[in-house]
Structure 1
């Protein structure tokens, strides 16, 4: 039986914890803001060590979703959900149905989408218990996996950053090191190869890295080395926290621009460490907004013109980097300022 407990967390409108021990279900939904509209964000399934670790992750992700929607000009708020568990072993129809019931208990305050460990077919199952879901398969009325749209936005942001740093947005013969070639990383790699880039890749799953090597003639390096290889652009496309006091001094790229969420381990200190190394960082929630744009434009606004919205990412990146240079502030601090102005806080 599903038990729901609400936590009071400063700065968040709603934090709901759902448990059903008999079904091995333990999940958290965090709603950061609904000032601009209902909160929308993905469901992530991950084997967190405990509820504290899961709560920390979902709060950071939900906060970033608010800023991502606002800086992209979307009339939705920020939310996120996490399921504690291994998606390879513990993702069952019962767990997904319980997730749907937990979402439905919030009565539209939170709208779900996909994230790590969840695919559109899983969202089909979730949607059997709630209508507050986006990104289901086409047969279920959704727009499917938004990973390609996310990758397209990352590419646009890379081009804008390259214009600022190298004087040209041309990526031909640029060396890009991609950390993680899952859904977003794979789509990004395909796009970069079409633009003539040379790729270095690493992934936790060796078969993914081998696939990238075959498809792109990419150089494969261990995951522990990918951030240290000489490259024009380092693209984190796995989980967060990759930019920290240990890794930042080891970076050998001119630009950091990737699809991963929450790339800094310490968002107050680490952006300044990176800036002091004269490495340009494109804020992740600006860069990876393409997936959210697809879901909102197609499933909330019921429009088709996704491409023009994604193209706006390039303009936003230019604005953030221009103001960063003008004000001598890390790009993330500038992006936060712009996003909060739009949210009205």
Structure 2
């Protein structure tokens, strides 16, 4: 545990347990250099406590990088609630976790993430005021999709020479709230969609609404396309799966897409342009952070619109230095955080 914290420069790790509700949770604060940490609350089943801690630490690090690259006055953090097979009172569970978050005295601002909803955040807010994505504040997913769509266009321009997505084959792996909203943007832009999800109903809906082509979830990475968009739970790209890719670029909404930076080098070696996840998918964080500060919708949209500029900057450095955009983005983020 301490070796992982040291290697990621993680500031603190907190473990919470509430026998009455069955709560088991991990909270990680990676950095508070620019302000209080901000991060999502995941509610997923994990094989063991160690995997939950590893997930929380790596995601919190990514949130610090994301906030720094987006120019936000916040640090990075993450909360992970371990999901048990049976929960007697979900509302009470989240309210109890809210009290745990409150004990950190505002050092972590919490938003929804995989496995949670704005209704869960409403319950969590009963125990703490440090929640930034309640029903009243709105779901950040549409803003995440808006940013990824803009970043995907910039990626297409960098790799394929045009911002025009009409007729482009885009493979979306994962049709959750962000992935589905991204599919809507892409369909409106005239892209041809290949889609997969572990939930068949979401695939059927995408086929009906967007004339998408359904592909088996495991087969999608090896299906020929122009851009592969991972929008599920990472890391889905490892040494083996990257060798199966048949695309020109990878640009998606998922966090922690790469199993390691060595995978980024493999992508670079194969001539596949990679859009670093914490650059392209910053829209939800930008929305939550600026809405929390009381910024108007126009200012939030304008800030999200800067994502392609930052991404293009990363691509430019990567091309000039002849190395992966993932390594360039990490170097830029760490320079901002630690220099």
Query: TM class, shorter-chain normalised?
Result: over 0.9
Deviations 1:162-196 (A, max 9, x none): 11111111101100000000100000000000100
Unmatched segments (≥5 aa) in structure 1: 1-5
Of the three residues 279, 287, 290, the one matched with 1:286 is: 279
The ranges of structure 1 where at least 4 consecutive aligned residues each deviate by more than 6 angstroms after the TM superposition are none
3-state secondary structure, aligned to 1:107:
coil
1:205 and 1:88 mapped to 2: Cα distance? 20
2:10 and 2:89 mapped to 1: Cα distance? 28
Structure 2 residue aligned with 1:17: 15
Q: Does 1:316 align with 2:314?
A: no
In the TM superposition, what are the counterparts of 1:34-53 in structure 2 within 5 Å? 34-53=32-51
Deviations 1:4-49 (A, max 9, x none): xx99933222210001234211000000000011000100000001
Unmatched segments (≥5 aa) in structure 2: none
3-state secondary structure, aligned to 2:5:
coil
Q: Does 1:56 align with 2:54?
A: yes
Q: Does 1:328 align with 2:322?
A: yes
1:44 and 1:291 mapped to 2: Cα distance? 15
Report if aligned partners of 1:7, 1:17 keep a CA contact under 8 Å in 2. Answer: no
The alpha-carbon distance between structure 1 residues 7 and 30, as it changes in their structure 2 partners (threshold 3 A), is farther
3-state secondary structure, aligned to 2:234:
coil
Residue 113 of structure 1, CA deviation: 0.2
Report if aligned partners of 2:29, 2:60 keep a CA contact under 8 Å in 1. Answer: yes
Structure 2 residue aligned with 1:65: 63
Structure 2 residue aligned with 1:108: 106
Residue 87 of structure 1, CA deviation: 8.7
Q: Does 1:342 align with 2:336?
A: yes
2:99 and 2:34 mapped to 1: Cα distance? 25
Deviations 1:93-129 (A, max 9, x none): 1210121011011101101000001111111110011
Of the three residues 287, 307, 313, the one matched with 2:301 is: 307
TM-score by length of 2: 0.96
Q: Does 1:260 align with 2:250?
A: no
2:66 and 2:186 mapped to 1: Cα distance? 23
The alpha-carbon distance between structure 1 residues 261 and 146, as it changes in their structure 2 partners (threshold 3 A), is same
1:88 and 1:258 mapped to 2: Cα distance? 32
Residue 66 of structure 1, CA deviation: 0.2
In the TM superposition, what are the counterparts of 1:92-171 in structure 2 within 5 Å? 92-138=90-136, 142=137, 144-171=138-165
Report if aligned partners of 2:101, 2:128 keep a CA contact under 8 Å in 1. Answer: yes
Structure 2 residue aligned with 1:3: none
Structure 2 residue aligned with 1:273: 266
**Aligned length, in residue pairs:** 335
Report if aligned partners of 1:7, 1:16 keep a CA contact under 8 Å in 2. Answer: no
Deviations 1:276-313 (A, max 9, x none): 00000000010110000001111125333111111100
Of the three residues 77, 80, 90, the one matched with 2:78 is: 80
Q: Does 1:202 align with 2:196?
A: yes
3-state secondary structure, aligned to 1:326:
helix
1:180 and 1:55 mapped to 2: Cα distance? 24
Report if aligned partners of 1:85, 1:91 keep a CA contact under 8 Å in 2. Answer: no
Of the three residues 153, 169, 173, the one matched with 1:175 is: 169
Residue 88 of structure 1, CA deviation: 8.6
Structure 2 residue aligned with 1:190: 184
Deviations 1:47-102 (A, max 9, x none): 00111000000000000000000000101000000000059957711210121011
Report if aligned partners of 2:5, 2:57 keep a CA contact under 8 Å in 1. Answer: no
Report if aligned partners of 1:45, 1:87 keep a CA contact under 8 Å in 2. Answer: no
2:69 and 2:124 mapped to 1: Cα distance? 29
TM-score by length of 1: 0.94
1:343 and 1:83 mapped to 2: Cα distance? 27
2:178 and 2:209 mapped to 1: Cα distance? 16
